[in-house]
Chain A
């Protein structure tokens, strides 16, 4: 340990302050969601739980939640299939352009969001003449969710010895039995973790979704459109708290399932 006592106290203090900065807005929205006033001013005078009931009754918010879940499930399903297929291909085979694959899957989140957004919007509306809606949301979300499944599964495959599958084949199992009884149990938690992260990203995404949603608003798109109506603010606050909770829970479970894998490989940072 090279850090002096003073340095360690300083570092601890800095860490606490940074964490406080990160959590301050989340604490503030939680308080505002219970504020009795229709006007968003600080300090908050009195508290109520009414807005949650009102938010629950709000047709637009309920419809948006359903759309978000639909889009999340659709995008996650596609990302699970395509992401794990890509990770198996890269892990098991040596081929020309192998390094390009990991670059290709990361590209949709590495390029600026507005570019992806207008590229998809322009393609759907100008070139393909497709009506925007849940279907086009899913296409966009699946595209940038693939990397989350890919990163999680390939990290697990790299830590797993190939001799397990060879032993299964030697004992007479065919490729499908080996996959069903050996490979799948090994990668199962990585698949679930990747799928949960994909769902969380889909549930949260708004930069691209805002331009691929048409009239089918997801929850973030609904919040965004509601911001221009100030009298909706208290209901938006309650919906915002629910949105934060719903996006954090899958991430927490994914983190528990994947252990250190996601953070080490950047699977979590490369969202």
Chain B
């Protein structure tokens, strides 16, 4: 039996009360995190939505706090914003595809070929660069791809070089650097997804007469698809939300640096806020599709 009630100390009385009132216990536990995320995060997003219907007075450069659809009209009527959106979505899709293709062989090697010791070394070996200073990696690529950089040095014996300006070179650099940056985010979920496939399934497929390639196409790929989609959430969202990489390795406009320009350079928070609804809407659609494909279980 527990201590007699007469000698019950304050901690014991509190814990007894909490035990009898699980709802109060739950309330205490949830109030902090949910309160924080509702106020600090969702509150800020709501404020952003409010700001998107304000206006910047072009003459005084003051923000006029009156509702209007002017910013959204600007977004729809100015072709530049449509171009920026399409270019960003295209590069995000291309980066996602590139990363999926690059990630698959190494993830497959880690999960089904490598010895357990090599496997855990590789997991750490991929995890650490994922965390190693994002900005430094972008900055190094800027140097590597620069005029006097490693790539042009390696290309020079063949009489080739990457031009410093021009749309094609800009898109190439952005595509390469994004693909590099988000590759570990794709490798890790695919590796985890491949690891979950029981060997017996592959053996059964072989026993039923399927060749290795057929087994891969008909058994492995469908089972690992949710993991690929899970990884693509990161490659896609991180590409949409990045304004530093495009501005450091290109002169091209993407959603991220266009919003940053409207906000930071033009000081037009309302227009930036209105344009920010575009990547949010794209991500919400993407997340809904990803959930239907079972990607949330593979996160």
B-binding residues in A (CB < 8 A): 1-4, 7-8, 10-12, 14-15, 18-19, 21-26, 28-29, 32, 39-43, 78, 81-83, 85-86, 88-89, 92-93, 95, 101, 104-108, 110-116, 118-123, 126-127, 139, 142-143, 146, 150, 172, 174-177, 197, 200-201, 204-207, 210-211, 220, 223-224, 227, 236, 240, 243-244, 247-248, 251-252, 255, 262-266, 268-271
Contacts and interface: CB of A to CB of B under 8 A. Distances in A.
Nearest to B114: A15
B228 interface: no
Nearest to B1: A172
Given A204-B134, A243-B136, A269-B188, A18 B105 contact: yes
B44 A122 contact: yes
Given A115-B241, A224-B244, A227-B139, A247 B133 contact: yes
B171 interface: no
A65 to B, nearest CB: 13
Nearest to A264: B192
A10 B29 CA distance: 51
Contact of B37 (A8, A105, A174, A240): A105
B125 A114 contact: no
B133 A207 contact: no
Contacts of B223: none
B75 interface: no
A251 B280 contact: no
B72 interface: no
A236 B273 CA distance: 33
Interface string B248-268: 100000011001100110000
A56 B188 CA distance: 36
Given A119-B45, A119-B47, A223 B33 contact: no
B100 to A, nearest CB: 13
A114 B279 contact: yes
Given A40-B148, A88-B29, A268 B203 contact: no
B202 interface: yes
Contact of A112 (B1, B41, B150, B240): B240
- State the main secondary structure of chain A at its contact with B: helix
A176 B17 CA distance: 12
Contacts of B34: 86, 101, 104
Given A121-B263, A269-B188, A42 B150 contact: yes
A252 B132 CA distance: 11
Contact of A247 (B25, B105, B132, B256): B132
Q: What are the 7 tightest A-B residue pairs by CB atom distance, in nearest-first order?
A: A112-B241, A175-B15, A41-B148, A14-B105, A113-B241, A86-B33, A89-B29
**Size bracket of the B interface:** 35 or more
A248 B131 contact: yes
A114 B259 contact: yes
19 contacts: A11-B113, A14-B106, A24-B144, A25-B144, A29-B136, A42-B150, A92-B29, A105-B33, A108-B37, A111-B283, A114-B260, A115-B259, A119-B47, A175-B14, A206-B135, A220-B133, A248-B131, A252-B124, A268-B127
B238 interface: yes
B149 interface: yes
A204 B269 contact: no
Interface string B106-117: 101110111000
A78 B127 CA distance: 24
Given A15-B122, A26-B132, A175 B273 contact: no
Contacts of A127: 47
Contacts of A251: 127-128, 131
B279 A115 contact: yes
A126 B136 contact: no
